[in-house]
Each structure stands twice: as structure tokens, then as C-alpha cells.
Amino acid sequence: MKFTNCKLYLLSCLVCFFAHVPLVHSQNNNNNIYTRFGLGSLEMQANPQQFGMGGTGVASTGQHGVNFLNPAALSYIPLTTLQASGGGMSVKYKYNDTEAKYGNGYLKNVAFGFRKPGSKWGFALGMQPYSFVNYEASSDVVVSDTLNTTYTYSGNGGMNKATLGFGRKFFFGGDSTARKEKHVVSFGLNTHYLFGTIDHASKISFPDQDNYNYGKFSQNHFLNGFQLEAGVLFTLPIVHVKDVNNKVVRRSDLQIGITYAVQSSLHAKSVYIDEILSANSTIDYPIDTTFMNESVRFNYDLPQQITAGLAWNIYNQKLGNLQLNIEFMTQDWSSSKLNLGSDATSSNQLSASNRLSAGIAYTPENSANTSTLRHCTYRVGYYQGQTYWKIDGQQVHEQAITAGISIPILKSLNAINLGAAYYTLGESNSGLLEMSGVVYQVGFTFVPREPWFFQRKYD
């Protein structure tokens, strides 16, 4: 075939691109003090379409492109699919009477999925951030009523996740004579490889002095490991009405999705450094290293995660397509080490996290003879839950209202996808840091017109 070399070249480029995506955190500069604990802020593993529906997608097929939230959904990939997205935020921080604003942008998701025409199998590989760490905080302490000191804590880095997944459909039941549709059950498996670097540092300085020496303690953690995630997805037809030409005019399906990520361990290699530095009016420079340990190794527990969801798909030839989603996720981090071995106290520790999400998607029409606006998919959603952070005995709460739209390109399966949320994290009235603002994702889905992996009879 004439296109074989071109396709192999594109696949090679994608593999090379995935190999360089670990730099996704380099532009993430929002100052979130909560990221001092655990693996930092855990990213919602949703693409822009799912993000606009409150992060739901474990029970969804179609319209979501490459769906890594449930590997069983990979068997529904519409032939070859390439998707990518970027994310960003503009948030306000509030703590007691202090307020500040931050913003950032970063690469969010790159995925490539493929399915042979007529096949019951679907495969995908992709890369996305798993967590990020970025904070800087300080506190002033007066020593002996005369000497002012400042303790500064900072951190940066994060974890990335590379995924290779597959799913397969199985059909059962159905009766063509009685016009009863077949039931479908899909099974899938994601293999996640998590890797990254997390750095923490603390130092003491003397702001009233011009030239002085100070101490700095650094922790540099290098982590990597695998996690397996299995998924199942049931599609149960409720109503299927066809006209005399065997064209569907009304349809209703109920989908049930469940995923289970097994408990695993990340292998950690750490470097601990105690330094003495000299500070002057221009630059700080090291004087001596009083302690260094480069051979600290331990395992960081990554707990199991269970997610279950329902999706109800309703189609009417005149009214369009409506999808209603609801799902629940839980993950218990209480046995994981806090901040990779430091700051563990009875009041600051990791806890069980959970999230309840709901979303609605609506596409007015699928006829080829109408305007682009009637081919767009409009989404709204909401989620709330408890994060895995527990600060001063209080668990940090999060919630968000979301919205999104997918705009088809030339009335094809290609689309520009937008998702946004207004969210809040923490509560200043409870003595915690409060974050509120807009989080957004922008991406595209590309489905080539020519099916790949299809062997022609003639060149």
C-alpha cells in the first residue's frame, strides 16, 4: 500500500513524542501549599469532553474519543483516533486576611487509539500528568526578642503517567426476528507506568542581616512503578425503534461501568542534603555540605481505587441525543507515607478520598443538512468530594461546576473540545487555605477519513 510508510512514520513520531512528554510540569507554576503533602495535587484523569461533564466517563462510550477512565471503553474507539489537550487555571488564594492570584498552563493529555474495522478489540497508548508539586511558604519567628528569622518551605516537580490499554467487546442475547437488540459487555485492562521527581526544601534566613550564613535541608525523590487497572462496561438496550428502512428513530440504552486499580508500590530513590549557604545582597552560594545521603530507598504505597458509574443514553431522531452520567470514586490513602517520609503528625496526614460526579451531554442533531451549531455537543456537570489531604485534623473538601462543548470540524468525527470549571478547594473559614477560580482544558480529536490497519485487495 502507498500509505504504509507514512503510517509507520507517524507511529514512530508518536512514540518519540510520548518519550519526551515528561516535561509537562515545567510550566505549572501555581503556588498550592497543599502539594507539600503526599504526591502533591492529583490531576483529574479526564480529557476535555469528560471534564465538561463533571469528570464522568467510566460508563460512557462514544463522544469521548480515547477513554482511559475505563479500559473497557477502548473497544468502542471509532477506528484510528488521535487526541491531545492542554490545560490551565486562573485561581485566587485566600488564607485569613491574605489573598493572592496565580495562573498557569501545561500539556494535559496526548493519546493515540486504534481499532481495526469490524474488530471487537480496541487499543490505545497515551501520556498525561498524574500529580504536581509546586509551593512556597514562609513564616516569621522572633528569637530572643531581637533576632528576626524566616523559615521558608518550597517544593516542585510531579508525577507523569504513561498508559497502554486494550478492551474487547462480547455480544449476547438479541433476536433479529423480534427486533431485540443484543446486549454488550466489554472488558479492558490499562497498564500504567508512573514516574517523576518530587523535590522539597526548607531553609532558615535572617531578613534584617546583610551578610550571613544559613542552613538549607533538601529532599529529592525519584519515583517510578507500575499499576494495573481493570474495567468492565455493560450496555443494556432498553428501547430500540426502527422505521421501515431499518433506520433507528428512537433508542435508549443503559450503561454500567466499573473500574478497579490494584494496590501497588512506587519504587523511590531519595537524596537528602544538609547545606550551609552564604547570603548577600546579590546571590546565595553554598559554603559547605554538612550531610548527604544518596542511598535512601523505600516503597511508596499507591492504594487501590474503585470507580463505578451509570450512563443513560437517549436518542430521538427529531430531538437529538442526550446522555446522563453519574459516578462515584473512592481511594484510601491513609496507609501511604505523608510527604514521602516527613511532616507526619496526628493532625497532618493522608486520608481516604472520594468524589461524586454527575454530567449531562446533549447533541441536537446528527443530520448532515443542518448548521454546525446543531452538530455541537454541549455539556454541563458537577462534582464534589474529599481530597486525600487532612490538615490540622480537617479533611480538605473540593467541588466544581463544569461546562464544555465539542465543535465538529466539517461535520466529521474530528472535533475541537473545550471544557471549563469553576472550582473551590479548602475553606478559609475553617482555618485552611482556600483556592477558587477557573480551570480549563482545550483539545482536539482527530479521526482520519481513511481507516488504518485495513488491507486492500488491490493497490
Query: Which domain CATH number covers 168?
Result: 2.40.160
* HSE of 431, CA atoms in CB hemisphere, 13 A: 6
- Confidence at residue 128, expressed as pLDDT on a 0 to 100 scale: 94
- Confidence at residue 450, expressed as pLDDT on a 0 to 100 scale: 53
- Rounded to 5 degrees, φ, ψ at 168 are -140, 140
Interstrand relation of 98-114 and 212-242 (parallel, antiparallel or unpaired): unpaired
- Rounded to 5 degrees, φ, ψ at 164 are -125, 120
**Which of 257-271, 302-316, 437-451 is predicted least confidently?**
437-451
**Which of 192-196, 230-234, 294-298 is predicted least confidently?**
294-298
- Other CB atoms within 10 Å distance of the CB of residue 45: 18
- Rounded to 5 degrees, φ, ψ at 414 are -70, 145
Answer yes or no: is 246 within a domain.
Answer: yes
Per-residue pLDDT at 64 exceeds 80: no
Per-residue pLDDT at 268 exceeds 50: yes
Burial class (CB in 10 A: 0-12, 13-18, 19+), 286: exposed
Answer yes or no: is 457 within a domain.
Answer: no
Per-residue pLDDT at 71 exceeds 80: yes
Instruction: Please give the average per-residue pLDDT across 186-202, as a whole number.
Output: 95
- Confidence at residue 246, expressed as pLDDT on a 0 to 100 scale: 77
Tell me 34's DSSP state: G
Longest dimension (CA), the chain: 92
β strands within 180-247, DSSP E:
183-205, 212-242
pLDDT digits (tens, 9 = 90+) for 72-101: 999 998 778 899 999 988 989 887 777 888
Confidence of residue 359 (pLDDT cuts 50, 70, 90): very high
Instruction: Please give the average per-residue pLDDT across 1-5, as a whole number.
Output: 44
pLDDT digits (tens, 9 = 90+) for 94-128: 877 778 888 888 888 899 998 887 889 999 999 99
Instruction: Spell out the residues 6+ positions from residue 11 whose beta carbon is closer than 8 angstroms to its own.
Output: none
Amino acid (one-letter) located at 61: T
Answer yes or no: is 254 within a domain.
Answer: yes
Answer yes or no: is 458 within a domain.
Answer: no
- The percentage of residues in the chain with a pLDDT greater than 90, rounded to a whole number, is 45
Instruction: Please give the average per-residue pLDDT across 324-344, as a whole number.
Output: 81
- Confidence at residue 226, expressed as pLDDT on a 0 to 100 scale: 96
Q: Which residue has the higher pLDDT, 202 or 214?
A: 202
- Confidence at residue 207, expressed as pLDDT on a 0 to 100 scale: 72
Instruction: Please give the average per-residue pLDDT across 32-59, as a whole number.
Output: 92
**Which of 58-67, 131-140, 154-163, 336-345 is predicted least confidently?**
336-345
- Confidence at residue 26, expressed as pLDDT on a 0 to 100 scale: 40
Per-residue pLDDT at 15 exceeds 70: no
Instruction: Spell out the residues 6+ positions from residue 203 whose beta carbon is closer than 8 angstroms to its own.
Output: 151, 152, 214, 215, 216, 217, 277
- Confidence at residue 281, expressed as pLDDT on a 0 to 100 scale: 56
Indicate the number of domains in the chain.
1
Q: Give the residue numbers spanning the domain of 215.
A: 4-446
- Confidence at residue 386, expressed as pLDDT on a 0 to 100 scale: 96
Answer yes or no: is 452 within a domain.
Answer: no
Q: Which single residue is written with the C-alpha cell 532558615?
A: 204
Answer yes or no: is 73 within a domain.
Answer: yes
Answer yes or no: is 455 within a domain.
Answer: no
- Confidence at residue 304, expressed as pLDDT on a 0 to 100 scale: 96
Report whether 55 contacts 356 (CB < 8 A): no
Instruction: Please give the average per-residue pLDDT across 186-201, as a whole number.
Output: 95
Confidence of residue 70 (pLDDT cuts 50, 70, 90): very high
Report whether 377 contacts 406 (CB < 8 A): yes
Answer yes or no: is 141 within a domain.
Answer: yes
Tell me 175's DSSP state: B
Q: What average pLDDT does the chain have?
A: 84
